[in-house]
Amino acid sequence: MFLNLETPSLSFIMALKDLDWIGMAILTGSIVSLLYGVTTGGHLNPWGSGKVISSIFFGTFGLAGFILFEAKMPRRPMMPLRIFTNRTAASGFLSSAIHGLVWFGSAFYFIHYVRPALPIAARCEILQLTILSIQ
C-alpha cells in the first residue's frame, strides 16, 4: 500500500539458485565456531584450551574470509559491502549493533542478578519481557 516494491521476475527455483549459498555457509560456520568458543570458554573448557582458542581463531578468520568472499566472488552477494560506503548508514549499523549488545547483555545479567531475590511470578514476567523484546 505505502511501499512500492518491484515484483520479482524470477521463478522460485531460479531465485533459490541465485542465492549466495557459499557465503551463507561461510557466515554460518564462522559464527557457530566463534560462539562455540566464547560460550564454552571458562565453563566447559578452560579459556586456554585448544578447543576454545581454535574455535575462536577459525571463527574470526572465517568472518574475515566471509567479508573478502562477499567483496570479490558472488554476482549477487548476501551482504553487499557497498551499503557500508555511506557514513550515515555505516554509523547507524554500528550504533544498532552496539545497542543490541548492551541491551541483551544487560538483560542477561539483570535476570541472573535478580533471580534469587524474586518469587516465581516475577521471574515469569521478566521472561515475558525478554521474549517480547526480541520481536
Alpha-carbon distances of 31 from 6, 25, 27, 61, 101, rounded to whole Å: 32, 10, 6, 10, 15
Reported as a single tens digit per residue, the pLDDT across 66-79 is 999 999 988 889 88
Residues of the chain under the 70 pLDDT cut: 1, 111-112, 114-135
Q: Rounded to an integer, what distance in angstroms lies between the CA atom of residue 51 and that of residue 107?
A: 28
Reported as a single tens digit per residue, the pLDDT across 125-134 is 666 666 666 6
Q: Rounded to an integer, what distance in angstroms lies between the CA atom of residue 43 and that of residue 38?
A: 10
Cell numbers found for residue 66: 566471509
The domain locations on the chain are 1-84, 86-135
The per-residue pLDDT for 32 is 96
Q: Cell 539458485 belongs to which residue?
A: 17
The per-residue pLDDT for 120 is 63
The per-residue pLDDT for 5 is 73
The Cα angle at residue 16 between residues 74 and 8, in degrees rounded to 5: 95
